[in-house]
């Protein structure tokens, strides 16, 4: 094979890969995805499917959130096994660089994370310290800590006001309400065993929580404390995500290789999608409510899902063992 022909073939293949990345017509923006095994975060241009940067994080990155302007991402470095993580990695998405690593001191095993209104602070669970800490992203200062005093406070859901938060306490089989402004724990409610996935409606009227031990999804009434079953039969209900209009609840089942859609008000199952061997984990919606983006950890890629049609309309290649995922319609490709 001549050098010219080899070069031409190489360019053709590169062009083919780029074309394959652009599977969803008119869909653009930027993804930030954590890759647990290689301890990295990947920034991806959605329109082309091109990886813009693969950046180092702390040990065992799990979750990631983006500020509302799409410029700043924060990753929780959870660690793994006997090696607990104790940092947050802050990424400038526009320049595709790590701008700082925030040490959390004794607040180890950071996992669940939410940007609070104003985007200057994040609320982060510290599973080992049984707490949620509020951290100033630019300075790295810990503003306050709210103690749950419950084992395994792993994920956190925060109401739209940025004040009321709920944790799923995997080791205590409870969910705990916290006031992030005062740093006080308000109450805990017993729920089915090993509650991991959790989310709170914007008005804080309902808390949806998944039980790893029983495979049930429960809904907790914030006003009465009543716990009712909304769905059953999951093998590992990994996350709970509300659609933008809060009418549909999407729940990835990691071990069951499914994504279920449930009507929030009636609790009726609307449908389910199968991802055989995919390992669905992190999930996020686009701001217009049209698409869900689902990380498939065993396939090193992200499924682009039309929520209304409940169909996969494209895939985007990611790094190894992708988990947490965040999306912005802002295009930062360069």
Section 277-292 average pLDDT: 98
Q: Half-sphere exposure of 230 toward its Cβ, with a 13 Å CA cutoff?
A: 31
Residue 164 confidence (pLDDT) above 60: yes
The Cα–Cα gap between 291 and 243 comes to 9
Give the pLDDT confidence of 47-101 residue by residue, as tens digits.
999 999 999 999 999 999 999 999 999 999 999 888 999 999 999 999 999 999 9
pLDDT at 8: 34
Sign of CA dihedral 278, 37, 302, 19: negative
- CA 233 from centroid of its chain's CA atoms: 22
- CA 268 from centroid of its chain's CA atoms: 24
The domains of the chain, with CATH numbers, are 26-328 (2.130.10.10)
Residue 331 confidence (pLDDT) above 50: yes
The Cα–Cα gap between 28 and 90 comes to 23
What tokens were used for 197? 């996935």
- pTM for this prediction: 0.92
Section 282-287 average pLDDT: 98
Contact 21, 314 (CB under 8 A): no
Cα angle 247, 253, 258 (rounded to 5 degrees) comes to 85
122 conformational bin, left if phi > 0, alpha if psi -120 to 50, beta if neither: beta
- CA 252 from centroid of its chain's CA atoms: 11
Least confident segment among 9-13, 27-31, 279-283, 318-322: 9-13
pLDDT at 333: 81
């Amino acid at each position: 094979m001549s050098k010219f022909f080899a070069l031409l073939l190489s360019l053709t293949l590169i062009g083919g890969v780029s074309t394959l990345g652009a599977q969803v017509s008119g869909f653009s923006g930027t993804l930030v995805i954590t890759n647990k095994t290689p301890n990295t975060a990947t920034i991806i241009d959605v329109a082309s499917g091109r990886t813009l940067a693969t950046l180092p994080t702390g040990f065992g990155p799990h979750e990631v959130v983006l500020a509302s302007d799409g410029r700043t991402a924060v990753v929780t470095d959870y660690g793994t096994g006997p090696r607990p993580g104790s940092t947050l990695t802050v990424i400038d998405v526009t320049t595709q660089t790590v701008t700082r690593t925030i040490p959390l001191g004794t607040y180890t095993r950071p996992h669940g994370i939410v940007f609070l209104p104003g985007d200057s602070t994040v609320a982060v669970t510290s599973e080992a310290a049984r707490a949620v800490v509020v951290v100033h992203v630019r300075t790295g200062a810990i503003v306050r800590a709210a103690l749950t005093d419950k084992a395994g406070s792993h994920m956190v859901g925060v109401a739209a006001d940025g004040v009321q938060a709920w944790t799923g306490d995997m080791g205590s089989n409870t969910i705990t309400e916290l006031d992030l402004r005062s740093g006080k724990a308000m109450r805990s409610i017993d729920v089915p065993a090993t509650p991991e996935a959790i989310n709170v409606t914007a008005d804080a009227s309902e808390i949806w929580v998944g039980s790893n031990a029983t495979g049930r999804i429960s809904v907790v009434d914030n006003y009465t404390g009543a716990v009712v079953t909304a769905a059953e039969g999951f093998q590992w209900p990994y996350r709970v995500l509300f659609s933008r209009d809060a009418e549909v609840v999407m729940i990835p089942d990691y071990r069951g290789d499914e994504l279920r859609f449930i009507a929030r008000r009636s609790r009726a199952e609307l449908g389910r999608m199968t991802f055989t061997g995919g390992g669905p984990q992190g999930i996020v919606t686009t701001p217009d409510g049209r698409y869900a983006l689902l990380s498939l950890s065993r396939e090193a890629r992200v499924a682009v899902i039309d929520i209304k049609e409940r169909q996969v309309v494209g895939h985007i290649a990611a790094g190894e063992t992708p988990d947490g995922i965040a999306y912005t319609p802002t295009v930062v490709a360069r």
